[in-house]
Amino acid sequence: MQRQKWIGQHWIKIILLAAIPVMTTDAGSLDHAIDTQVKSDISAQQSQQQIDGLADETVQMLAEYREVLRQTDSLRAYNDQLDKLVTSQQRELDSIGLQLRNIETTRRDIVPLMVQMVDVMTDFVALDIPFLPDERQARLVQLQTLMERADVTLAEKYRRILEAYQVETEYGRTIEGYQGELTIEGDIRTVDFLRIGRVNLYYMTLDSLEVGMWDQKENQWQQLDSEYIRTISQGLKIARKELPPDLLILPVKTAEVSQ
């Protein structure tokens, strides 16, 4: 009987000792859960503050965006005119490609048409905003010289003309920053040029003290207020891929489009 009582007491001790780690583990889990909830509450509060800040920024960006849309309306007629020109030239290029399949029988028609395409591009460059004048003029001279060479096939001439048209078309879809010379108050100076598609062209002196834009209507350069120095500088960095794309607020002047 005593032996059974002694054995029973030892079993109770063993059971109690086994239960102690379980109770300790449960307490640790509870502390961890409380700590996790506190951190979650702090994170939620911080997230709400960030959301409130983003909401304010969104309202400001929306106002700027609406202003850009208003300015964009004045460019639609000009861009529509360019689209019509590109569409017209593309139809001519398609026509030439079709005729080249039977080159021997259509030679008399193709040559004058290719010459006309070079002439049209020459006139277009002369009327366009004056960006990269040396590069574009050199390309035209090369085409004009190419058309006079008897050792170059018609297919190669056509390819080169098509390539030149593609380059000119691409200008309208890109922005670019480059250096060049500009006559300012009678002095030839090296400046940074910023081209926005073929809609407008801006310049900034290398000392970043003067900025201006090309007035397509008056066919001359116009100096801008110093308030645009920062924006044009930012645009140059975006064009050179030194900054990611961003919204730029710049003055725009285009030539009047006849209806």
pLDDT in tens, 144-182: 999 999 999 988 999 999 999 999 999 999 999 999 999
Q: For residue 185, how many other CB atoms are within 10 A of its CB? A: 6
Q: How many angstroms from the chain centroid is the CA of residue 62? A: 19
pLDDT score recorded for residue 175: 94
Unique residue bearing structure tokens 């028609």: 109
Q: What is the mean pLDDT of residues 106-124?
A: 88
Q: What is the mean pLDDT of residues 228-245?
A: 95
| Per-position DSSP letters for 61-115, written without gaps between them | HHHHHHHHHHHHGGGHHHHHHHHHHHHHHHHHHHHHHHHGGGHHHHHHHHHHHHH
Q: For residue 28, how many other CB atoms are within 10 A of its CB? A: 10
Residues 6+ apart with CB under 8 A from 92: 113, 117
Bridge partners for 205 per DSSP: 191
Cα distance between residue 177 and residue 213, in whole Å: 14
Statement: residue 98 has pLDDT above 90? no
Greatest mean pLDDT range, 8-17, 91-100, 171-180: 171-180
More confident residue, 195 or 29: 195
What's the mean pLDDT when you consider all of the chain?
81
Half-sphere exposure of 10 (CA within 13 A, CB side): 6
Cα radius of gyration rounded to whole Å, the chain:
36
DSSP category for residue 247? -
Q: What is the mean pLDDT of residues 82-101?
A: 78
pLDDT in tens, 17-75: 444 454 444 556 666 767 777 677 677 677 677 776 777 777 788 777 777 677 677 67
Q: What angle, 0 to 180 degrees and rounded to 10, lies between the N-to-C axes of helices 154-171 and 103-127?
A: 30
* Domain ranges, ordered by start, for the chain: 78-171, 175-239
Start-end of H helices in the chain: 2-72, 76-99, 103-127, 133-147, 154-171, 229-239
